[in-house]
Amino acid sequence: MGGTPRGRERLVHQRTELVNALRAVLYKFGQIVPQGIAHIKRIDAIIADDGIELPGTVREECRDLLVQIDEKTNHIKYGDDPTD
């Protein structure tokens, strides 16, 4: 794993902000998701479920946030910090 501890810490903080933003969007539509990255699969399932009423633009915004979270997670795991 490359990068600096400070760089990794920054990535974890950024990912946390993205997850919290995603949780906040879903909360506005009655979907309550516990805190923590461990619940990301649950969030993905909510977004993928057409039976859950979410406007198309909200679903797209959530998918975009999931992509960003996935990118941050990969950078954290493999030490590939694009901001260094």
pLDDT tens for 28-72 read 999 999 999 999 999 999 999 999 999 999 999 999 999 999 999
Report pTM.
0.84
Residue 33 falls inside a structural domain = yes
* pLDDT at residue 82, as a whole number: 53
DSSP, collapsed to helix, strand or coil, labels residue 44 as helix
* pLDDT at residue 4, as a whole number: 79
Residue 31 falls inside a structural domain = yes
* pLDDT at residue 64, as a whole number: 97
Residues 24 and 4 sit within 8 Å (Cβ to Cβ): no
Residue 24 structural domain? 5-78
Residue 47 falls inside a structural domain = yes
* pLDDT at residue 80, as a whole number: 61
pLDDT-based confidence at 79, cuts 50/70/90? Answer: confident
How many domains are contained in the chain? Answer: 1
Residue 83 falls inside a structural domain = no
